[in-house]
Amino acid sequence: MSRILLTHSPETRANYYGDRALAGLRALGEVKLNEAEAPLEGAALVAAAADCQLIVSYRQSPAPAALFEQLPKLVAFLRCAIDIRNVDVAAASKAGVLVTQASAGFVASVSEIVVGFMIDLSRRVSAHAAAYHAGTVPLATMGRELRGSTLGVIGYGAIGRKLVRVARALGMKVLVNDPYVKDIEQTPVDELLAQADFVVPLAVATAETENLMGEKEFGQMKRGAFFINVSRGNLVDEAALARALDSGRIAGCALDVGRAPDQMPTPSLAARPDVIATPHTAGLTLPAIEHQSMETVAQAAEVLKGRAPRGAVNAESWTRVAKLKI
């Protein structure tokens, strides 16, 4: 019988994997669970996976070269997330181990929270609630309607496309910049920043997009506009963001991600009264999580049949498939 290691800790297993997906894995083989408080990594991960053919991995379980070198029985490393930046795919390929990633199941969830952030920022919902919670009566302030406001989206992938459709349905004007797509009218970044009431970067985190929003870009934003980041902390120069808030150049921001561990918002920014922050939960809804966790179950089933599943990133290098008893 095949052995499968699930690296999620009990807490992350409850939120990011779930009973239905765990039952699906158990129908495929013997599942070894991580009962530690944190997701497995390093030597602990190597030890736990010593007799396993498959690893189903939480996003905080890195897979460096040493992992593949020290686990001769390992056939496949399945990431229950899109982000595989902490997986050494080249080393996995050299060792003949298959690496897979999940597809986006959180498009609706993340798009919805962006709309919620826009309403919160423009109507001061969180600020007013915080004042009432503190026992004071907040001053009533003039709000903005989303209808007639301009949304600037930098990066037109699945979430960007969904958000654009929703924003237009709400009566917003939408400006988009993404040099890699051809099926929507493009607005140069400087024009987008100068015109948008809400700026939302949704680009993929790469070396090219590191600090996509920096001193220059925040300085080009329309005075009094809002900034929202639900993508990756790598896209933002956080010192430049803090200066833009300090100067009043931008009226506030909302963050679901940042440069703190596990892509969380940086606490010093999140604590500011002009910032709304959530702990990387934009995609934490049951449909979104089950999409990815159940996808890893389907991938594991294909792997155990000797087939490279959808989501495989190095199928051409998968030589350890020969170790499976199909």
What digits encode the pLDDT tens for the residues 95-132? Answer: 999 999 999 899 999 999 999 999 999 999 999 999 99
| 138 CB neighbour count, 10 Å cutoff | 13
Residue 1: per-residue pLDDT: 79
β-bridge pairing 54-57 and 30-33: unpaired
Residue 79 has pLDDT above 80, yes or no: yes
Element (H, E) at 103: none
Nearest-Å Rg of the Cα atoms of the chain is 22
Do residues 86 and 138 both lie within one domain?
Answer: no
Do residues 132 and 55 both lie within one domain?
Answer: no
Residue 310: per-residue pLDDT: 97
Do residues 128 and 24 both lie within one domain?
Answer: no
β-bridge pairing 3-6 and 54-57: parallel
- The pLDDT-based confidence of 17 (bands split at 50, 70, 90) is very high
Q: How many domains does the chain have?
A: 2
**Mean pLDDT of the residues in the chain:** 96
Residue 175 has pLDDT above 80, yes or no: yes
Do residues 113 and 246 both lie within one domain?
Answer: yes
Rounded alpha-carbon distances, angstroms, from residue 69 to 39, 61, 92, 247: 20, 16, 8, 51
How do residues 47-75 score in pLDDT, each as one tens digit? 999 999 999 999 999 999 999 999 999 99
Which residues form the domain of 141? Answer: 107-277
What's the whole-number mean pLDDT along residues 279-302? Answer: 96
Residue 243: per-residue pLDDT: 98
Residue that finishes a domain, picked among 245, 260, 277:
277
* The CA-based dihedral angle spanning residues 107, 111, 116, 122, taken in that order and rounded to the nearest 10 degrees: 160
Do residues 224 and 161 both lie within one domain?
Answer: yes
- The pLDDT-based confidence of 326 (bands split at 50, 70, 90) is low
Residue 147 has pLDDT above 70, yes or no: yes
Rounded alpha-carbon distances, angstroms, from residue 220 to 83, 91, 118, 144: 30, 42, 20, 21
Distance CA 98, CA 173 (A): 44
Q: Name the packing angle between helices 107-123 and 125-133 (round to 10°).
A: 70
Do residues 99 and 118 both lie within one domain?
Answer: no
CB of 100 within 8 A of CB of 312? yes
- The pLDDT-based confidence of 323 (bands split at 50, 70, 90) is confident
Distance CA 179, CA 48 (A): 44
Do residues 56 and 202 both lie within one domain?
Answer: no
Do residues 234 and 221 both lie within one domain?
Answer: yes
Cα 7 off chain centre by: 18
Do residues 31 and 150 both lie within one domain?
Answer: no
Residue 146: per-residue pLDDT: 98
What's the whole-number mean pLDDT along residues 244-250? Answer: 96
E-strand ranges in the chain read 3-6, 30-33, 54-57, 76-79, 98-101, 150-154, 173-177, 198-201, 225-229, 250-255, 275-277
Distance CA 160, CA 167 (A): 10
pTM here is 0.89
Residue 102: per-residue pLDDT: 96
Residue 325: per-residue pLDDT: 74
DSSP 8-state assignment for residue 55: E
Residue 317 maps to which CATH number?
3.40.50.720
Q: 55-82 burial, b for 16+ CB within 10 Å, e for fewer?
A: bbbbbbbbbeeebbeebeebbbbbbbbb
Q: If you count DSSP H runs as helices and E runs as strands, how many of each does the chain have, helices first? A: 13, 11
CA angle 156/215/264 to nearest 5° reads 60
- Tokens read off for 284: 């934490």
β-bridge pairing 275-277 and 250-255: parallel
How do residues 303-312 score in pLDDT, each as one tens digit? 999 999 999 9
CB of 137 within 8 A of CB of 131? yes
Do residues 96 and 212 both lie within one domain?
Answer: no
How do residues 19-39 score in pLDDT, each as one tens digit? 999 999 999 999 999 999 999
How do residues 254-266 score in pLDDT, each as one tens digit? 999 999 998 999 9
Do residues 48 and 165 both lie within one domain?
Answer: no
Distance CA 237, CA 239 (A): 6
Do residues 164 and 46 both lie within one domain?
Answer: no
